[in-house]
């Protein structure tokens, strides 16, 4: 329970929200930090009521500056001097699915080199052979999330759809920096018009989505908004020619785009070094190669790279109606995006999984045999990819080489278990998997849809104090991209909040991690074990006698940033409360040592 009195059920949700505030008054160092604002991206767990959301945000002094409804993400503002305690409070709050800073993203372009052959890249990827099969379809739309696109350029003017400017919130998608026009031309510049250059998918349409300022910078929130917008507008391919390596918000937006049947292609970045980020299953990341099929010196590489494509001296459209050579992974990504658009043109029934599988299986293997961190699965081959897409179409037009996906996802409620007795607020956990990916998981309570989660791990917040005591039935349903539905076994849960017996026995509590008298540094997880027959209502975390966080559901863990205190000995105390107000505490000493 999250209240002093078990009978105060109607106030539980609001009090719950307040109980998760991290107390920072003792952190005197924050007074000396600059007071400019930082933006955070956060999402509440499915099932958290709107009233509770409002209280959590207001209690931490967070101002909502934007909201992305398709993926339920809030963009909030916090003063820089309160960033770390606020972020830690949110990270330790079981109502929060994730929180991250609204990072800036930079374009992946490097200086021009006019001495290379102008369109060597088209021959390198065997585009002429692909064009014998298809030059694209006007029904296939490529979204360019960038600085805008020059609407008067002769090689682009006839193929631009009406898009949206998310930076200024208007319909003006003209190019304010010059990068987006280059990307759009690489992917889909008009051919056979007697002027200029040819894009890879020159018969496909372009949806311009401006997400940058006049200096070419954007944020993850604007990219996420642009992706969800492009998906809703029916785009089958989206190009993100920015240096992006991670981010839960952007990954959620990419999944939204993929679930709508599209493919997201991104630049791998121009750091010229190894990046250790893991593969994102919803984004095809592309590194750059030279005309000799070597990795470009500026190209980032690592386990997140899926494919490579030419990225040095790519001749393309330039803002103002001209043409020029450009380099960077920014221009490798639209080459791959153009091939994906050609594949959708010859076989609209392809799933995003099919497209990525074909691109990777038909790529020209470079570097070490098989997959490697420099070249991914290899350099794209437009002709081979289109040929494979066409063969798939001839196999009855179904995905997976003509075999229709009729296998539903597997799904199971892992917590609570069948027959469990619960009280207060709990997190319902669901495991779901499918060969082609899980689109969403729905949780049903007593036969009625309770909440939906579209991103793993699938976890739902359920405040049982809003329910009548007694048996309630939980069922989870998982959906895959083909529309197959898997259903879990029913879990019968006994809700028991109105216990009238008296409990005078304090809880059992211990600090599992860190151990007493250990040396700690940086961010250290304080892991607590607490139990009581009547249930644990909350666990308080103290550092040197100052309350720093309150956690009211398992796991009882607090991420302590040890850099907020001086090096030396410090006392950690945790106090656990049961539902009747009984408490027990335990303390340890640790030695903080930060360089």
Q: Which residues are catalytic?
A: 146, 179, 330
What is the spatial distance between Cα 413 and Cα 442, in angstroms, rounded to a whole number?
A: 11
Q: What does the DSSP assignment read for 577-595? A: EETTS-EEEEEEEEEE---
Nearest residue to 565 (alpha-carbon basis) of 22, 26, 23? 26
Alpha carbons within 13 angstroms on the beta-carbon side of residue 386 total: 24
- How many Å is the maximal CA-CA distance in the chain? 89
Residue 152 DSSP code = T
What is the spatial distance between Cα 519 and Cα 587, in angstroms, rounded to a whole number?
A: 15
Q: Cis link prior to 416 (omega < 30° from 0)? A: yes
Nearest residue to 579 (alpha-carbon basis) of 465, 410, 437? 465
What are the backbone angles phi and psi of residue 37, rounded to the nearest 5°?
-95, 145
569-573: which pairs have CB atoms within 8 A and are 24 or more residues apart?
A: 570/543, 570/544, 571/542, 571/543, 571/544, 571/545, 572/511, 572/514, 572/526, 572/541, 572/542, 572/543, 573/541, 573/542, 573/543, 573/545
The SS3 of residue 134 is coil
Question: 345 near 358, Cβ under 8 Å?
Answer: no
Tell me the two tokens of residue 238. 């989206």
Tell me the two tokens of residue 190. 């008009």
The SS3 of residue 456 is coil
R_g of the chain computed on alpha carbons? 27
The SS3 of residue 478 is strand
């Amino acid at each position: 329970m999250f209240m002093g009195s078990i009978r105060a059920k109607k106030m539980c949700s609001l009090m719950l929200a307040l109980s998760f505030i991290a107390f920072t008054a003792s952190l005197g160092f924050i007074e000396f930090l600059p007071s400019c604002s930082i933006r955070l991206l956060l999402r509440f767990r499915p099932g958290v009521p709107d009233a509770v959301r409002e209280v959590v945000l207001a209690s931490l002094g967070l101002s909502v500056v934007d909201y992305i409804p398709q993926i339920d993400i809030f963009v909030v503002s916090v003063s820089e001097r309160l960033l770390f305690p606020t972020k830690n409070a949110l990270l330790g709050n079981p109502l929060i699915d994730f929180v991250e800073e609204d990072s800036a993203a930079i374009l992946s372009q490097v200086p021009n080199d006019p001495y290379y052959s102008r369109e060597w890249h088209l021959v390198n990827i065997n585009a002429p052979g692909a064009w014998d099969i298809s030059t694209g379809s006007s029904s296939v739309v490529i979204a360019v999330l960038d600085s805008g696109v020059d609407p008067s350029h002769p090689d682009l003017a006839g193929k631009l759809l009406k898009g949206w400017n998310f930076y200024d919130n208007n319909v003006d998608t003209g190019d304010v920096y010059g990068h987006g026009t280059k990307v759009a031309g690489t992917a889909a510049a008009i051919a056979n018009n007697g002027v200029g250059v040819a894009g890879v998918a020159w018969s496909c349409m372009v949806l311009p989505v401006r997400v940058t300022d006049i200096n070419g910078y954007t944020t993850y929130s604007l990219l996420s908004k642009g992706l969800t917008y492009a998906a809703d507008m029916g785009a089958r391919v989206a190009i993100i020619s920015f240096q992006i390596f991670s981010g839960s918000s952007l990954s959620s937006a990419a999944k939204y785009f993929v679930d709508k049947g599209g493919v997201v292609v991104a630049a791998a970045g121009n750091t010229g070094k190894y990046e250790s980020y893991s593969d994102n299953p919803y984004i095809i990341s592309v590194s750059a190669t030279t005309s000799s099929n070597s990795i470009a010196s500026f190209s980032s590489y690592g386990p997140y790279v899926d494919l490579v494509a030419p990225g040095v001296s790519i001749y393309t459209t330039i803002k103002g109606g001209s043409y020029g050579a450009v380099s960077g992974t920014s221009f490798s990504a639209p080459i791959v995006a153009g091939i994906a658009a050609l594949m959708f043109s010859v076989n609209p029934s392809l799933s995003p999984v099919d497209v990525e599988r074909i691109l990777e299986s038909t790529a020209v293997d470079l570097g070490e045999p098989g997959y490697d961190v420099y070249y991914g699965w290899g350099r794209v081959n437009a002709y081979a990819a289109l040929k494979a897409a066409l063969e798939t179409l001839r196999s009855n037009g179904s995905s997976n080489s003509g075999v229709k996906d009729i296998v539903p996802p597997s799904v199971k409620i892992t917590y609570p278990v069948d027959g469990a007795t619960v009280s207060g607020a709990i997190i319902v956990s669901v495991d779901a998997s499918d060969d082609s990916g899980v689109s969403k998981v729905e949780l049903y309570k007593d036969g009625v849809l309770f909440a939906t989660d579209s991103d793993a791990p699938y976890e739902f917040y359920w405040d049982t104090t809003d329910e009548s005591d007694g048996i309630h039935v939980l069922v989870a349903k998982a959906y895959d991209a083909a529309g197959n539905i898997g259903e879990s076994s029913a879990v019968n849960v006994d809700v028991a909040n109105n216990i009238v017996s008296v409990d005078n026995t304090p809880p059992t509590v211990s600090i599992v991690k860190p151990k007493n008298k250990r040396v700690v540094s940086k961010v250290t997880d304080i892991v607590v074990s607490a139990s009581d027959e009547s249930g644990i209502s909350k666990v308080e975390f103290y550092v040197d006698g100052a309350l720093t966080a309150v956690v009211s559901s398992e796991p009882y863990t607090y991420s302590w940033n040890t850099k907020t205190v001086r090096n030396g000995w410090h006392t950690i105390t945790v106090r656990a409360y049961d539902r009747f107000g009984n408490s027990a505490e335990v303390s340890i000493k640790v030695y903080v040592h930060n360089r």
